[in-house]
Amino acid sequence: MNVVGCSPKTAARFLAVALFLVLPFRAHAVLGDNASSVLADQARMKGTLLSVDTHTYVVHEITVPMGTTVREFVSPAGVVFGVAWNGPFAPDFQSLLGPYYEQAKQSASTETHARRGPINIQTPGLVFQQSGHARSFHGQAYIPQLMPAGVAASEIH
């Protein structure tokens, strides 16, 4: 596990604020779940959907009217192995990470990072990275074991 920066108490407080931030839209494609929720996510977020097949995986990109974009990376087996986001608002991490939310929350509370710096959690079962500031957030989360063969972590952005 690796989170860079400050005291565990400060890190936990910062992540709690970031993770519990309730924003005007919610993403429901959950890491490790199947891809059947993409259309429901698009409708729920009232966003536009663009899907791109890379032949190794499919990227479903949903852009909401407020400008935030959520990308869902789906393996040929139909499993969401990664998500990425950018825009003026961070997504609802509890919905986005699903069962991995508690793991991210616990990892951040036991490690340290800069108070306002990026969050970088790397465990064997989850990688979560978030950075930015008000009105400009970006990040990604993925499950290394679910990534299709030949896909590099740098492709999830």
39-96 pLDDT, tens digit each: 777 777 788 999 999 999 999 999 988 899 999 999 999 999 999 999 998 887 887 8
What is the per-residue pLDDT for 12? 42
How far is residue 24's CA from residue 107's CA, in Å, rounded to a whole number?
Answer: 26
Check residue 51 and give left, alpha or beta (phi > 0: left; psi -120 to 50: alpha).
beta
What is the per-residue pLDDT for 116? 61
pLDDT tens digits, 100-155: 988 888 877 766 555 567 888 998 899 999 998 888 999 999 999 999 999 999 99
What is the per-residue pLDDT for 26? 46
- Name the residue ranges covered by the structural domains of the chain: 8-148
- Write the burial class of residue 124 (CB in 10 Å: 0-12 exposed, 13-18 middle, 19+ buried): exposed
Lookup result for tokens 């959520």: 70
Task: Specify the amino acid at residue 137.
Answer: F
Reduce the DSSP state of residue 141 to 3 states and report it: strand
What is the per-residue pLDDT for 115? 55
What single DSSP character describes residue 90?
-
